[in-house]
Amino acid sequence: MTENETVMSQIANNTREQAMLGDFPKAIDDAILDSNEAHQEQMMQLLSDPSKTAQFAKVVFDMLYGFKR
């Protein structure tokens, strides 16, 4: 996620709610899918339950937001 300059810029320049309207949700989905082999069970739980995906997205956002500070 930190290599995605667009997402990191959106995180740095917007609130969480605003960033969630940008490229961040797609980047989360891509990151989940990329971790397929190591985290297949987690991936299925996250992609099958939108509330879990939203919680996961918030945790990752907060980590990335802290990284930029």
Nearest in space to 67 (alpha carbons), one of 21, 26, 8:
8
pTM: 0.62
CA atoms within 13 A on the CB side of 46: 21
25-36 pLDDT per residue, tens: 999 998 888 877
The predicted structure's pLDDT at residue 69? 64
Rg (CA), the chain: 12
**Could you identify the residue written with the tokens 């300059």?**
5
Largest CA distance in the chain: 34
6-59 pLDDT per residue, tens: 999 999 999 999 999 999 999 999 888 887 766 788 888 888 999 999 999 999
Q: Looking at per-residue confidence, does 35 or 66 come out higher?
A: 66
What are the residue ranges spanned by the domains of the chain? 5-68
